[in-house]
């Protein structure tokens, strides 16, 4: 039961991070460097957050 709860909690965090990414891209100007810079910044933030969550949840 505890493992199912952790899986649900982990899935919710992935969903929240994905929604933040979608919202972020909605407001980034679709002009050249800003889009690519935003892509790399968000990918870096997402990687750090997900790796820390995986360490903490032992997934």
Q: What is the model's pTM?
A: 0.42
Which of 3, 9, 1, 14 is closest to 51 using CA atoms?
Answer: 14
pLDDT at position 41 over 60? yes
pLDDT at position 52 over 80? yes
- Per-residue pLDDT band at 56 (split at 50, 70, 90): confident
Return the pLDDT at 32: 58
Using one digit for the tens of pLDDT, what is the confidence trace for 4-19?
777 777 777 778 877 7
Residues 6+ apart with CB under 8 A from 40: none
What is the domain partition of the chain in residue ranges?
2-57
What sign for the dihedral angle of Cα 44, 45, 50, 55? positive
Per the CB < 8 A criterion, the answer to whether 43 and 17 are in contact is no
């Amino acid at each position: 039961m505890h493992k199912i709860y952790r899986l649900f909690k982990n899935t919710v965090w992935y969903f929240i991070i994905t929604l933040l990414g979608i919202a972020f891209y909605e407001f980034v100007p679709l002009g050249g460097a800003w889009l690519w810079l935003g892509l790399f910044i968000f990918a870096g933030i997402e990687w750090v957050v997900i790796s820390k969550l995986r360490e903490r949840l032992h997934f």
